[in-house]
Amino acid sequence: DQQVKQNSPSLSVQEGRISILNCDYTNSMFDYFLWYKKYPAEGPTFLISISSIKDKNEDGRFTVFLNKSAKHLSLHIVPSQPGDSAVYFCAASGTSGTYKYIFGTGTRLKVLA
C-alpha cells in the first residue's frame, strides 16, 4: 500500500528548460510535504517543503505546488541545470502524533547540456 507515489521513474529535460516532477499521495492525514534530491552514493538532501496551509512555496529556482483536493504536489525547477541531474524523492508526513515520513519511489532527472 504505497501512500506516496511518483509515477514517472525518469525524466529528461534540456538545460535551461523547466523540469516538472510530480507526486501523488493517498492519505488525507498528510499535512507536510518535502522534496529531497539524491546523488549516487550520497544520502538524500532536503530541497524544499510545503505545509498544507499553503499551495505554493518558492526557493530560488525551485517551486513546490500543492493541490490538496487532488492530493497532488509537483516540483518545478527553472531553469534546469546539468547539476540538477539526480534522483528526486517526494515525502509526506503528518505534523502531529507519531507520524512517519513516507517517501515516494523517486524520479531520476537528467538535464541534458
Partner 1 sequence: DTAVSQTPKYLVTQMGNDKSIKCEQNLGHDTMYWYKQDSKKFLKIMFSYNNKELIINETVPNRFSPKSPDKAHLNLHINSLELGDSAVYFCASSLRQLGINTGELFFGEGSRLTVL
| Contact set with partner 1 (CB under 8 A) | 32, 34, 36, 41-46, 49, 87, 89, 91, 93-103, 105-106
d(CA 104, CA 5): 5
The DSSP secondary structure of 20-50, one letter per residue, reads EEEEEE--TT--EEEEEEE-TTS--EEEEEE
Of residues 15 and 68, the one with the C-beta less far from partner 1? 68
Name the minimum Å distance from CB 110 to partner 1: 15
d(CA 16, CA 32): 29
Of residues 38 and 79, the one with the C-beta less far from partner 1? 38
d(CA 97, CA 91): 17
Name the minimum Å distance from CB 46 to partner 1: 4
Of residues 21 and 91, the one with the C-beta less far from partner 1? 91
